[in-house]
Amino acid sequence: MLEGLLGRKIGMTQVFDGQGAIVPVTVVQAGPCVVLGKKMMVKDAYNAIQLGFGQKKEKNLNKCRKGFYTKANLKPVEIIKEFKTDAVDTYNVGQEIKLDIFQIGDYVDVTGISKGKGYAGVIKRCGYTGGRSTHGSMFHRKPGSIGASSFPSRVLKGLGLPGQMGNVQRTTIKLEIVDIDLANNIILIKGAIPGNNKGLIMIKKTTKALKHKKVVAKAKSTDQKLVKKPSKKKLV
């Protein structure tokens, strides 16, 4: 079974659940994705299918890409990603994949490009508190000493310093699916996901171990692999 889908972040809002409680959700337009190609164990040493999402104008394609689409007789897409799956044979090139691979209550990981914050200082980027603004303080938003003189006399690895913040690929893990609208290709995911509105994202079934009793019971009935045995340490 395929474990992921490509989509576009629409924005955040809040909805009421069955009990009338307000749930914060991100609205995502996910799919329909087109199968563009297959990777076979025999030829490529791994099994996967290539999925495409969105539209792209033909004039914006280079010759190499244009050839690829004409050969496969497909429309150009905005984004292409590979998803590993063992059941490659069950998919055909050109086949549409929709949201029905997910169910309400499932947990997913969402990958996207986070919002770019530019070149940020240590207060914004690393959470340093900074110094006093007034009373002759000459230490405002600086990082301060980074290596001392005699010991350790070098800069420790992982020390927070100014630099580019955001605009990197990030994954938010274990988010619950609140609702699925198959007709409009809309999926509601509980909580926030990386990136701007209109940003392209990838949704995958979660890699995180599911500990919640209800989830474990549900996962057991569908797929044994999803459930990790709880460690004995935590039980004691």
Partner 1 sequence: MDLMKVVHDKQLKKDIPSFKPGDLVRVHTKVVEGDNERVQVFEGTVIARKSGGLNESLTVRKISFGVGVERTFPINSPRIIKLERIKEGRVRRAKLYYIRDKEGKEAKIKEKISNQVIPTDAKG
Give the binding site for partner 1 (CB under 8 A): 10-11, 13-16, 18-20, 22, 27, 29, 181, 184, 186, 188
* Residue (19 or 145) nearer to partner 1, CB: 19
- Among residues 5 and 122, whose Cβ is nearest to partner 1? 5
User: Given the complex with partner 1, which of 175 and 188 has the nearer CB atom?
Assistant: 188
Rounded to the nearest whole angstrom, what is the least distance from the CB of residue 182 to partner 1 in the complex?
12
Q: What is the DSSP string of 123-139?
A: HHHH------SSTT---
Q: Cβ of residue 11: shortest distance to partner 1, in angstroms?
A: 6
How far is 147 from 155, CA to CA, in rounded Å? 5
Q: Phi/psi of residue 67, each to 5°?
A: -60, -40
| Least distance between partner 1 and beta carbon 116 (Å) | 22
Q: Is 32 exposed, middle or buried (0-12, 13-18, 19+ CB in 10 A)?
A: middle
Q: Which is nearer to partner 1, 149 or 184 (CB)?
A: 184
Contact 141, 123 (CB under 8 A): yes
Smallest gap from residue 22 Cβ to partner 1 (A): 7
Neighbour count for residue 80 (Cβ, 10 Å): 17
